[in-house]
Structures are given as structure tokens and as C-alpha cells.
A and B are shown apart, each in its own frame.
Chain A
Amino acid sequence: KAGVTQTPRYLIKTRGQQVTLSCSPISGHRSVSWYQQTPGQGLQFLFEYFSETQRNKGNFPGRFSGRQFSNSRSEMNVSTLELGDSALYLCASSWLPPRANEQFFGPGTRLTVL
């Protein structure tokens, strides 16, 4: 069974640009969560989707958005990039909502904003 895949794995952008990251969950998983990991702030919850609905959102500005498609694949978008958006973005999937079971994490997309 294939794990969670994230594309691209590495990305370099400049300030002001926008970026879209993609996450393909494990087959059959309906919940997808996104996290931002930085050395200073650690792992921070961005948002969670379940069956195409955003059910929870962390404390991030509106520049961070996401969506989930009918096949459970998810994308997150960051507009008007800032230097502070440089981070490892992790996607996690689970069969049930995250609190109910184990989440499986992808390898992450490392975003560098210059």
C-alpha cells in the first residue's frame, strides 16, 4: 500500500509569489491535515479536510488556503509569499478524523522563500 505522497519535494520561490503544494493520501483515507514545521515554531497545524470539507483551521493568515478533491487528494496554496513562510510543509492522512486514529505523514515539501 503506497504511503502519503507530497509533490514537489523541494521548492524555491521569491517573495510575493504564490505556491501550490499537493498531497495524495493513502488510498481510502478521507482525512487530510496540513502542518507547517519550522525550527522556531515547531510543528503547527494549518488545516484539516475530511470528505472535501475543511473542518478545522489553525491560526494562520488568510494567505494560506487549501482544498480537498473528491478523490481525497489535497492541495494547499500560499499566496504573496513572505520570507517567514520558508518551512517544511507536512501532509498527513487518516481513515477517520485525526483524533480518532493514527495519522500517516508524508515526507513533506521543503519550501524556501528568497
Chain B
Amino acid sequence: AQKVTQAQTEISVVEKEDVTLDCVYETRDTTYYLFWYKQPPSGELVFLIRRNSFDEQNEISGRYSWNFQKSTSSFNFTITASQVVDSAVYFCALSENRDDKIIFGKGTRLHILP
């Protein structure tokens, strides 16, 4: 069965610090897709990244970077030089190739303190 675990329920860091959000997934499929979404206080989820299981290259987008490691079934998300606007709940999600159910982790609430 597919499962996504975000062990960090809540994290607080001071602005400008780097912060890494952990995501560990379980799947029996060899083809699957991983996602990160951001849910700011306004409530609307915002897509950040999608990665398929055959692409283990790490990705960087501005201050955001993602580290995908199949060996440890992890897809971690790092924010460099955090800003107050990064405060949100971040969700990691998984979809197997056999269907389009997107299974979300419980989310990590990130507080960036000024």
C-alpha cells in the first residue's frame, strides 16, 4: 500500500536560516510520482514540484531544492535563507502509476520567525 510519512509535525526557524522538510514514502510500484505542495494561511494548496521515480536528479528552484533518494525512499525539501512568507503547511504526496490517487502526508507546519 502507498503511504507518505512526514515525521515533522511542526518546525520553527528564524528568518534566513535553512530548513529541511523530510518526506519518506512507501510504494510497491516501480513507477510512481512524488509531489510537494504548499498550503499558506489563505488555505489554497499551491503546487511546488512533481518528480517521477526514474528521475533521481536533485532539483533547485531559487531558494527551494529537493533531494530525491530512492535508496532511502525519501524526497526531502530544503528552503535556503528562509523568509517569513515561507510560513505555511507543506505537504508531500505520492501517486502510483496504476491509478491517480494522490496520497498526501499529514503535512509539516513551518513557522518562519522574524
Q: Is the CB of A56 within 8 A of B99?
A: yes
Contact of B55 with A by CB under 8 A: no
Nearest chain A CB to B103 CB, angstrom units: 7
Chain B interface residue count, Cβ-Cβ cutoff 8 angstroms: 22
Residues of A within 8 Å of B102, CB to CB, are 33, 45, 98-99, 103
Contact of A42 with B by CB under 8 A: yes
Within 8 A of A (CB), among B1-51: 33, 37, 42-47, 50
Q: Is the CB of A48 within 8 A of B101?
A: yes
Q: Is the CB of A90 within 8 A of B45?
A: yes
Q: How far is the CA of A88 from the CA of B106 in the complex (A)?
A: 15
Q: Is the interface of A mostly helix, strand, loop or mixed?
A: strand
Residues of A within 8 Å of B100, CB to CB, are 31, 33, 48, 50, 55-56, 97-99
Q: List 13 A-B contacts (CB under 8 A).
A: A42-B104, A42-B105, A42-B106, A44-B104, A45-B101, A48-B101, A50-B100, A92-B45, A98-B95, A98-B100, A103-B47, A103-B102, A108-B44
Residues of chain A touching chain B, judged by Cβ–Cβ distance below 8 Å, are 31, 33, 35, 42-45, 48, 50, 55-56, 58, 88, 90, 92, 97-108
